[in-house]
Amino acid sequence: MCRSPVSTLRVSSLALAGLLIMGWAAGADAQLYEVKPSRNDPNYRRRPVQPDPNATPPGGVDTRITVEIFCGSDNAGFQAQRWSPTFDRAGVYLRIRSEMPGDKLSIHEKQYGKLREVSVVGRLEMNGSLSFEGRKFKPNETPALAEWLAELKSYGSQGSPRGKALWGLSNEQFETLFRSLASPVEQEIAEVPLDEALRGLGLPETYPLRLSYAAKQIAATAPRSKSRLQLRGFSHGTALALLLSQYGLGFRPERTPAGKIELVAMPADDSQSLWPTGWEHLEGTSPVSIAPKLFTQTLVELKDQKLGDVLEAIGQKTNTPVLLDYSKIEARGLDVNSVSVTVAKQRYAWASLLTRVTSPSFLTIKICCDEARKPFVWVTPLKNAGPLPRRRPAKPAAAAPAE
């Protein structure tokens, strides 16, 4: 018996449809597959892998955090359930135990090469809040706890340096940095561009200098502007601050997530505190103790002398350099070499004379020292001084009466 081509086609179509239906039904219970182009296809684009928040940063350290929480209440298990998911998501090992004699809040850190272990001991309060050394989290503040745990993972037991005294450094770190920056600059860096001056400073290799993006933008506007301050013999910390001040910049130490310390240059008007251009209140010092010659008296008489020449002469007479804050002084439109000063013949202490000749131009003096306690005078505009007063031309002398 022969079958017509039409009937054969119908049977084949029905069989194919059945196979498709069976395949769809089987696929409903099995895995779904998506057809993707070959990676050799030029139109193929690999999606960027989302970063793991708990992954070790490139070149950084692997931080492991363990938290012990002691408690004395009977409902500790119920209260702990509120906090456990936050610790789990942060990848932090949590142990809750009963309170024992001698328990106290603490945070300790140990470093083993690139492995950093941070151990935290906290207390679960009766009201369900968590208390740690210097921190406390209420039951509704789980996001704040997660943020703090991420901060510990990035910066270790000291936490983020933002907004902390001593720029977030421990006392030991700050003292080590201070001693290192007290070493003297060995070569003169005046009359060279900023990039050459920075290289000539010879900063300690332990604390590398990095220019922030904003600092690079400012430095790029005056690539060949030359430093005018003679800084040879000054300590590295103050010399760097003084050099950068001529370009409207400053610097501050910053502790990196890896625990190292770098010096970061940034705009001087940045809201964050900067390393000072000289220390006015260094422990164990006073203006008289660091610069006694400035307080000896001398007989002085000046008539129409240039302010810049007078300041330089006082520095030479007292062996105390007088340095000018050129960036801020010139920003107010003041040229110290075009201002003349006159002082009647009288005995002055050198410090009083400095105040006498600078105050008419709304300048102020600061008697300070560098990290090695070398004294100098820093001349800078008064804060909120406003515009400079216009000097009226001298009136012509009256003509003598005719005889």
pLDDT tens-digit readout, 73-91 = 665 667 777 888 888 888 8
Confidence class of residue 162 from pLDDT cuts 50, 70 and 90? low
Please report the pLDDT score of residue 24 as a whole number.
39
The tokens for 114 are: 């690139």
The tokens for 135 are: 């921190």
Helix (H, G, I), strand (E, B) or coil at 403: coil
* pLDDT above 60 for 93: yes
- Indicate the range of 64-73, 109-118, 245-254 predicted with least confidence: 109-118
299 vs 27: which has the higher pLDDT: 299
Determine contact, residues 249/240, Cβ cutoff 8 Å. Answer: no
Contacts 24+ apart (CB under 8 A), 183-188: 183/235, 183/236, 183/372, 184/233, 184/234, 184/235, 184/236, 184/372, 185/231, 185/232, 185/233, 185/234, 185/235, 185/236, 185/239, 186/232, 187/232, 188/230, 188/231, 188/232
Determine contact, residues 186/177, Cβ cutoff 8 Å. Answer: no
Confidence class of residue 56 from pLDDT cuts 50, 70 and 90? very low
Determine contact, residues 128/79, Cβ cutoff 8 Å. Answer: yes
Determine contact, residues 85/149, Cβ cutoff 8 Å. Answer: no
Domains with residue ranges and CATH for the chain = 62-158 (3.40.50), 171-267 (3.55.50), 287-381 (3.30.1370.120)
Confidence class of residue 159 from pLDDT cuts 50, 70 and 90? low
- Residue 194 parent element (H or E): helix 194-201
115 vs 70: which has the higher pLDDT: 70
How far is Cα of residue 191 from the mean position of the Cα atoms in its chain? Answer: 28
Please report the pLDDT score of residue 366 as a whole number.
93
CA angle centred on 327, ends 227 and 332, rounded to 5°: 145
To the question of pTM greater than 0.95 for the whole model, the response is no
* pLDDT above 50 for 116: yes
* pLDDT above 70 for 41: no
Question: 347-393: per-residue pLDDT in tens?
Answer: 999 999 999 999 999 999 999 999 999 999 999 998 765 555 554 44
* pLDDT above 90 for 202: yes
Ranges of beta strands (E only) in 243-388 are: 249-255, 261-267, 297-306, 322-324, 340-349, 363-369, 375-381
Query: Percent of the chain, pLDDT > 70?
Result: 74
Please report the pLDDT score of residue 297 as a whole number.
93
Please report the pLDDT score of residue 286 as a whole number.
83
